Structure 1
């Protein structure tokens, strides 16, 4: 039986310690900020603190996906070492990474007929993708085979709830997620949108809430209403350099819901370029999204 290696991309926003401990292969998206092209490598090349400091000072980063040749080179190395590859990718509605991975797979299979590469479109973003990778990694560590891991992901990926709020609508406006009018009026009236990721893997505004504290409480309410078997779940919270508010959301949740564990981490540069500083996001498993 072949050894299995799990691939993902840097939009997973997982803690680097977890990635390194479990030998997860991360394809790096890239961020151009202040004229420098930097890999999004989970906080190594640029700290999350410095990245958000630059945005607060007015820098407007742009992002680019991992390209076909990046995937081809990385996949080929492990195929030649006899691995089965499972790549769990950032939502295809938000990035072309999954498509790049598919093209790389086609090129490799043409050359190495028995190459075993599975490409999964997670339809997820940030630590929603991270949550799927986390569970897949735990299954691998428990000795589950490739088919069991892939089957679990496909059965459960559309149960991964993504609920988040942003502090500044202008970043979403730049990415075409909200209109200029909504951004201007919302900013004037201190309106904070609550958004989620739908079954197609798209960012969808759900409601508008007046004030930051209320918007964070709405996230807690969504979890309370939608989570299944909370005592068996590790839930994830990601944030755009606003740890105190992420911790506050954790406290609100633990006051009312008994979950197995809560893992908090930063929103990395690739996602944070579009959501901006002050983003707070919550991820857990429900019956559906």
Structure 2
């Protein structure tokens, strides 16, 4: 069986210990906070993330930039030169063009390294959804799955991925064109929390609205109860944009309802947080 590396976007969230133990590689991604450009290499330190979300609260604008095919080629080449193929988990093609760039880079590099493979997986996911797929890929590799078998196995899970999340700062949805200016202003005044999901095409859609954090958090818990099936996958991700108390309240409810669930608590990557703003809270799992 040929040796291969498992890579993921820095836009994905995964428990730091899991990534370190399994040698997960992260494709770096750039983002800005105010006038300062930064690079995320995945699994950012909590102190760095808190400064990021504090900056958003103070009014610093945040944005991200695309990865070009050339940048992907440069990144992947080091693994190929070591004789290793790559299984790469991309941010949803419905949210970004990075997966398309990765596929183009893989095609170009195949001409130079014909005996090795780069297999980009369009996860149709983000944040902890990528983390769940990577954890499954890690387990598959431990159990002896080769590159192509693992690629096929994780792709079978993608239609069952469920992302459901709340947003506290409507101004970030306004900047992204998901709500109008008037809706954002009125919603903020009325303490409205939009509830969104990633649909089957990997795109963000608004599915509900709740008034206040508690009602929104209970909606996330109800979503868990409707979708959780331990026979499919016991790992769930609760990712938050610096709202730890709300995230822990959600985790406590999950623990009480499903003691067998494996809860991964992580702070949201700045690559995704740049577009959701502070206070976002998500429930991500493999659903029924």
Q: Which TM class, normalised by the smaller chain length?
A: over 0.9
Aligned to 1:112: 113
Is contact 1:38–1:45 with CA below 8 Å preserved after alignment? no
Is contact 1:217–1:252 with CA below 8 Å preserved after alignment? no
Q: CA deviation at 1:240?
A: 0.3
Q: Which runs of 5+ in 2 are unaligned?
A: none
Is contact 1:163–1:194 with CA below 8 Å preserved after alignment? yes
Q: Which one is further off, 140-149 or 150-159?
A: 140-149
In the superposition, the TM-score normalised over structure 2's length comes to 0.94
**What are the Cα deviations for residues 79-120 of structure 1, in whole angstroms up to 9, with x where unaligned?**
122212111100011112101111111211122222311111
Is contact 2:46–2:267 with CA below 8 Å preserved after alignment? no
- Decide whether aligned partners of structure 1 residues 146 and 98 sit closer, same or farther in structure 2, where only a CA change above 3 A counts: same
Is contact 2:255–2:261 with CA below 8 Å preserved after alignment? no
Q: CA deviation at 1:73?
A: 1.5
**What are the Cα deviations for residues 107-149 of structure 1, in whole angstroms up to 9, with x where unaligned?**
1112222231111100001111111111111221232222331
Q: For residue 76 of structure 2, give the secondary structure of its aligned residue in structure 1.
A: helix
Is contact 1:163–1:281 with CA below 8 Å preserved after alignment? yes
- Partner Cα distance (1:19, 1:159) in 2: 23
- Partner Cα distance (1:179, 1:110) in 2: 47
- Partner Cα distance (1:130, 1:232) in 2: 13
- Partner Cα distance (1:245, 1:231) in 2: 27
Aligned to 2:151: 150
**What are the Cα deviations for residues 219-265 of structure 1, in whole angstroms up to 9, with x where unaligned?**
00011011222695011100001111111001112222333310100
Is contact 1:234–1:259 with CA below 8 Å preserved after alignment? no
Aligned to 2:197: 196
Is contact 1:158–1:199 with CA below 8 Å preserved after alignment? yes
Q: Which runs of 5+ in 1 are unaligned?
A: none
- Decide whether aligned partners of structure 1 residues 150 and 15 sit closer, same or farther in structure 2, where only a CA change above 3 A counts: same
- Partner Cα distance (1:231, 1:122) in 2: 18
Is contact 1:31–1:37 with CA below 8 Å preserved after alignment? yes
Does 2:24 align with 1:24?
yes
Aligned to 2:168: 167
Aligned to 1:33: 33
**What are the Cα deviations for residues 186-232 of structure 1, in whole angstroms up to 9, with x where unaligned?**
11211111111001111111101111100000000011011222695
CA RMSD of aligned residues (A): 1.7
Q: CA deviation at 1:172?
A: 1.3
Q: Which one is further off, 191-200 or 35-44?
A: 35-44
Q: For residue 11 of structure 1, give the secondary structure of its aligned residue in structure 2.
A: coil
- Partner Cα distance (2:205, 2:231) in 1: 25
Is contact 2:94–2:201 with CA below 8 Å preserved after alignment? yes
Equivalenced residue count is 287
**What are the Cα deviations for residues 150-172 of structure 1, in whole angstroms up to 9, with x where unaligned?**
12211111211101001111111
